[in-house]
């Protein structure tokens, strides 16, 4: 079971949905009295839904530690056996949950059971992430690390637009999909989190922490970590001079279907 800290989730979702929210239109949040966000974590999407929906938005996660700071209605629960009766919510939504489940279709079936109106999934395609950096080696190394991750992880982390097929397979109708690019930029003036993230590259701590989900022998991963740390040291040098800039785009897909 993969665990996520509130700090990691805050860092990776910071600013997501800050701008254009048109891709959420198909959810018709304005018409909803009750919405459920499953696998809500520390509430990155829950807070957005609460801003957009005049009704009540509940968060649900199997990890109680993540729910403790969210406030509002929150329920501890497993996406595969939701603790709600049939048709309890106008809309059931998740973000970056299905990519972490070995049997995502089972969760979609549960969403369709407890929803009376719409089911929506916001899922990334981690195989299509793109990186641009002022450190020449960073893009190549990020792509090497990503290939090892895609080969080593035991769930479909590239699900993205294919989530729409899961909705159709579970009998949802009128399924639509819209792409939403999540772009992270590190550039001057650097924030505290930027400095921490760049320093972490130079230590190789990020790659070490992801060992369990990366394919390869110890020698292969040691070699990758060695090059990664060298790249990180160059990033730290550029950061000190105010020259470092990195842009990463993660495509998310918002798939919505009617019960």
Ligand X SMILES: C[S@@+](CC[C@H](N)C(=O)[O-])C[C@H]1O[C@@H](n2cnc3c(N)ncnc32)[C@H](O)[C@@H]1O
Interacting span for ligand X (CB under 6 A) from 72-80, 131-139, 145-153, 205-213? 72-80
* Cα 179 from Cα 181, distance rounded (Å): 6
Interacting span for ligand X (CB under 6 A) from 35-43, 126-134, 148-156, 246-254? 35-43
Residue from 26, 36, 48, 96 that binds ligand X (CB under 6 A)? 96
Beta strands in 77-164 (DSSP E): 89-95, 115-124, 130-133
Residue 51 or 243: which CB sits closer to ligand X? 51
The CB-of-71 to ligand X minimum distance in angstroms stands at 15
Residue 62 or 200: which CB sits closer to ligand X? 62
The CB-of-158 to ligand X minimum distance in angstroms stands at 14
Counting every residue written for the chain, the total comes to: 259
> Which sign does the torsion angle of CA 98, 35, 182, 138 carry?
negative
The CB-of-4 to ligand X minimum distance in angstroms stands at 5
3-state secondary structure of 91: strand
Does position 4 interact with ligand X (CB under 6 A)? The reply is yes
Give the pair of three-digit tokens for residue 49. 């839904």
Q: Which of 73, 79, 44, 69 is nearest to 59 (CA)?
A: 73
Residue from 36, 41, 74, 164 that binds ligand X (CB under 6 A)? 41
Does position 63 interact with ligand X (CB under 6 A)? The reply is yes
Task: For residue 114, give every residue at least 6 positions away whose Cβ sits within 8 Å of its Cβ, in sequence order, or none.
Answer: 36, 82, 84, 85, 86, 87, 88, 89, 92
Torsion of CA 219, 222, 226, 232, to 10 degrees: 150
Residue from 95, 133, 177, 255 that binds ligand X (CB under 6 A)? 95
Does position 78 interact with ligand X (CB under 6 A)? The reply is yes
Torsion of CA 199, 136, 158, 18, to 10 degrees: 60
Does position 110 interact with ligand X (CB under 6 A)? The reply is no
The CB-of-193 to ligand X minimum distance in angstroms stands at 16
- Applying CB under 6 A, the residues found at the interface with ligand X are 4, 9, 13, 39-41, 44-45, 61-63, 66, 78-80, 95-97, 100-101
């Amino acid at each position: 079971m993969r665990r996520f800290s509130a700090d990691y989730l805050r860092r990776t979702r910071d600013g997501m949905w800050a701008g254009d929210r048109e891709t959420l239109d198909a959810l018709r949040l304005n018409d909803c009295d009750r919405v459920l966000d499953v696998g809500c974590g520390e509430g990155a999407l829950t807070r957005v839904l609460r801003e957009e929906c005049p009704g009540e938005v509940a968060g649900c996660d199997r990890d109680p530690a993540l729910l403790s700071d969210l406030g509002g209605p929150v329920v501890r629960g497993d996406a595969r056996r939701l603790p709600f009766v049939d048709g309890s919510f106008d809309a059931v939504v998740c973000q970056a949950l299905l990519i972490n489940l070995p049997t995502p279709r089972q969760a979609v079936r549960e969403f369709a059971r407890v929803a009376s109106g719409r089911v929506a999934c916001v899922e990334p395609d981690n195989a299509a992430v793109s990186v641009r950096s002022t450190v020449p080696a960073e893009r190549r190394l990020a792509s090497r690390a990503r290939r090892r991750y895609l080969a080593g992880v035991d769930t479909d982390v590239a699900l993205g637009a294919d989530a729409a097929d899961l909705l159709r397979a579970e009998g949802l109708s009128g399924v639509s999909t819209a792409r939403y690019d999540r772009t992270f930029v590190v550039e001057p003036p650097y924030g505290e989190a930027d400095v921490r993230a760049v320093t972490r590259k130079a230590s190789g701590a990020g790659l070490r922490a992801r060992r369990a989900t990366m394919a390869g022998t110890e020698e292969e991963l040691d070699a990758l970590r060695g090059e990664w740390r060298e790249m990180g040291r160059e990033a730290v040098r550029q950061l000190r001079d105010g020259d470092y800039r990195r842009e990463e785009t993660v495509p998310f897909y918002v798939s919505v279907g009617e019960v």
